[in-house]
Amino acid sequence: MADCFSLQNIFENFKSCLSDNKEVYIKYYIAGWRELVSFMNTLGSLFSFISKDAVTKIQILEKFLTGENGTHYTTVQSMVKYELDNKLVDLTKGGNYPASGCRTLLRLHRALRWLQLFLESLRTSTENSKTSVMCSEAYNASLAQHQPWLIRKAAEMAFCTLPGRDAFFDVMNAGSHQEVIALLGEALPLISEVYQITEDLYAKNNLLDLP
């Protein structure tokens, strides 16, 4: 429900993501995504195909985290090491591990780039800016490159139904527009840091194109 959601909750989770030595805790990463999904669920049924896919991916990671090898899934760093050391990742084409932790998290990681771009453009937007345009620009500069035509079209259709900027600021449930903008300014560096650490780790291990 719209009133249960708050922008603050999302950021608290992404803040908790980073350990002292800059590893990314999967537990808080997926908790951040759960909050985002609950926000998306307030936007109407055209978004449900997106939130369903996000939930599926969150559940895959949760299962690893609570499973018998869960300790290896404490951080993104430990997951990458464990799955690579034990050859649990399909590196070039589909094989025995279509739902590895590494490839599943990569999908969310790419979506985090979308979030980063979208929130930054919301933060710097003016009264006349359109959320649908900001959303689709962020999408085209990130996730769209990894998705087929049909999904891109469905996503574009959903974006057109987004509430206008004022209503969008209201549903973020973080006070006045000025307060929302201030909160975005605080939170974006955190999200960017989590994104960049993951990106560097994946790049170093040649994991950015996992099938």
State the binding string over 172-191 for ligand 1PX (x if CB under 6 A, else -): x-------------------
Choose, by CB under 6 A, the member of 79, 135, 188, 194 that binds ligand 1PX: 135
The stretch near ligand 1PX (CB under 6 A) out of 22-30, 35-43, 83-91, 188-196 is 35-43
Given phi > 0 = left and psi -120 to 50 = alpha, else beta, which region is 173?
left
* Residues whose CB is less than 8 angstroms from the CB of residue 70 and which lie 6 or more positions away in sequence, other chains included: 64
- Do residues 114 and 137 lie in contact, with contact meaning Cβ atoms separated by under 8 Å? no
Token representation of residue 150: 């049909």
* 160 sits near ligand 1PX (criterion: CB under 6 A): no
Segment contacting ligand 1PX by CB under 6 A, of 19-27, 62-70, 107-115, 175-183: 107-115
CB 133 within 8 A of CB 125: no
- Pick 85 or 150: Cβ nearer ligand 1PX: 150
Half-sphere exposure (CA, 13 Å, Cβ side) for 204?
Answer: 10
Q: Which residues bind ligand 1PX (CB under 6 A)?
A: 7, 36, 39-40, 49-50, 53-54, 107, 110-111, 114, 135, 139, 143, 147, 151, 155, 162, 172
